Structure formats: C-alpha cells, structure tokens
Amino acid sequence: MDFCEFLAEEELIEIIPNFKFNKQLNLISGDFGPFEPNVPVKVPIWMALNLHQQHKCSLKLPSWIKKLIDLQEQQEVADRMLEMPSEYYREIIKLLQQHVPSIPDCADLIERREAFLKTSIASLFQHVYEEYKDNLAVSTVTLHNVTKAELYLIKNFVQKAFTLFQQLRTTAASIKH
C-alpha cells in the first residue's frame, strides 16, 4: 500500500497560503505558485501537508470528501463496485486524517468494498473453474470501478488462483494425450 500512498501524494489539493512567495516552483510534477496570502492555489498533497505542518497554509478539502458518506450508504445496497470520486480516495483520506480530524470516517466504506471485492473475485473464480474444468476455455475477467489499492489487496489471491488454473490446464492436457 505504501506505493499507492506515494502515488496519492502527487494528487493536487487546494490550499490557502498565509505567506507570500512571488516565484513559481518548478517541480517534476508541475509548476506551482506564486503564493499569495488568502489566495487559493493547487499543489500536490505532499507539499500541502508539509506547508500545513509548518502553519504556512490551511487545507481546503476536496469537495468529493463530503460525497463519501452518501457513497458509503449506496455501496451497502449496491450489487457492484461503485465508482469512487478519486482513484486514491482511501490513501488521500488516510493522509488528510492525520492533519484534519474533521474528515468523515470511511472505514465502513473501505471494509464493504474490500469484502465485496473478495466475494466477487471468489465467485468469479468458482465460475471460471466450472467452465475451465470442462472445456479448458480461456475466460476473460473485467473489474469495474476498482482502485489501485484494492487491486493490490487481491493481487496475491489472483496470482495463486491463476497458478492453480495453469496447473489444472497442464494436468488436463497431459491426461488427454
């Protein structure tokens, strides 16, 4: 998950500086600034958190954070993974919660999505296995609205499942010959 958190830190967030810096910062990920007191500017999250720790700005939370409560309720009754407002929603929430305690707790949403994902993957592999054992057909798998961190959670499970399918295919092919 650390890699996903690293990627999330490059997402832009709006800050309201309380300092003046007339020059533009030319960074690998883009150009940021100039910084004027009380004039909002977008910067990467890592920079925003650093400036916030130094009491040089206030953070303006992304508007999608308020929508997470509604998404949490919708995910409870949904029969599929809902599209999230940010690819890195869980990492951004985690990073911001360390500095802004008023951010809504999204643990239930994260747990529901993980449980839904694991159940979906398990039933998918059961279905693929049932088809696969009879005709050795190759099935395709498509996952919708899954974030990078969620894919990382199921990576080992999927790798092991495909290894087992490959062993099954090899065994079935050797029996037929």
Q: What is the pLDDT of residue 131?
A: 66
pLDDT along the chain (177 residues), means of 10: 84 96 93 96 96 95 88 84 91 89 83 83 72 59 81 81 80 77
Structure letter (DSSP) for residue 152: H
How much is the pLDDT for 84? Answer: 92
Helix axes 148-176, 107-135, angle to 10 degrees: 10
Q: What is the pLDDT of residue 103?
A: 83
> Are 92 and 47 found together in one domain?
no
The pLDDT, as a whole number, for residue 156 is 79
Instruction: Single out the residue of 159, 75, 88 nearest to residue 117, CA to CA.
Output: 75
Q: What pLDDT score does 136 carry?
A: 52
- What local confidence, expressed as pLDDT, does residue 134 receive? 60
Looking at the fold, whether 163 and 77 belong to one and the same domain comes out as yes
Provide the domain limits for residue 119.
66-99+106-177
Q: Structurally, how many domains does the chain consist of?
A: 2
